[in-house]
A and B are shown apart, each in its own frame.
Chain A
Amino acid sequence: AQSVTQPDIHITVSEGASLELRCNYSYGATPYLFWYVQSPGQGLQLLLKYFSGDTLVQGIKGFEAEFKRSQSSFNLRKPSVHWSDAAEYFCLCSSASKIIFGSGTRLSIRP
């Protein structure tokens, strides 16, 4: 069955530290992959997306993600987090017939 897993429910990092949020998917073929961010009380905003081509994609707010087919992963990274990055992050996989969000990772920033 198709699935999206975000294994970390909650992560706390210090301001200025690097960040990696994990996303693993299970699909029959390479899906389209997205990362969204949700600030408290807000809707979701697209950070970046991968359809094909270069496996390292750059997004907004200094985020990047790398698609690794061999590991079925699409992890989100940021070299130095800011307090304003505190939010919930969702990985999304879609194909011709399915749209599945991961369960989300809540990011807290330690001053």
Chain B
Amino acid sequence: DARVTQTPRHKVTEMGQEVTMRCQPILGHNTVFWYRQTMMQGLELLAYFRNRAPLDDSGMPKDRFSAEMPDATLATLKIQPSEPRDSAVYFCASGLNTRFSSTDTQYFGPGTRLTVL
């Protein structure tokens, strides 16, 4: 049963530290999404990639966040330096885009719960 994996599942760090979250999309999927979920803001799309190229990262604070796909099996989301307001659950999702739709079904990972003290 193919699924999206995310590591770490939980991360506690101190303000100012660098945080890297990793995501392994489902093999064969060509689109990867990063979301942030908080009680106050709900689910926010941070960035997404298609065929490893960034398509939209307008939801991401550019000064401290960066997202990359070094290869088709790995997506990373990095925060440097981290701040308490970055505390949230970060979800990765992958999907298979066809030429007729910008996004088909997204398959979500279990999330990384980040706490910045």
Contacts and interface: CB of A to CB of B under 8 A. Distances in A.
Contacts, number: 48
B63 to A, nearest CB: 23
Given A101-B43, A103-B42, A95 B102 contact: yes
Interface residues of B, number: 21
Nearest to A102: B42
Interface stretch (A20-28, A37-45, A77-85): A37-45
A104 B42 contact: yes
A63 B33 CA distance: 26
B54 interface: no
Measured as residues with beta carbon below 8 angstroms from the partner, the interface class of chain A is 20 to 34
A103 B108 CA distance: 17
Nearest to A90: B43
Given A32-B102, A49-B105, A97-B102, A43 B42 contact: no
Contacts of B102: 32, 94-97, 99
B74 to A, nearest CB: 18
A96 B48 CA distance: 13
A34 interface: yes
A74 to B, nearest CB: 16
Interface in A28-65: 32, 34, 36, 42-46, 49, 51
A32 B103 contact: yes
Contact of A32 (B91, B101, B108): B101
A46 B33 contact: no
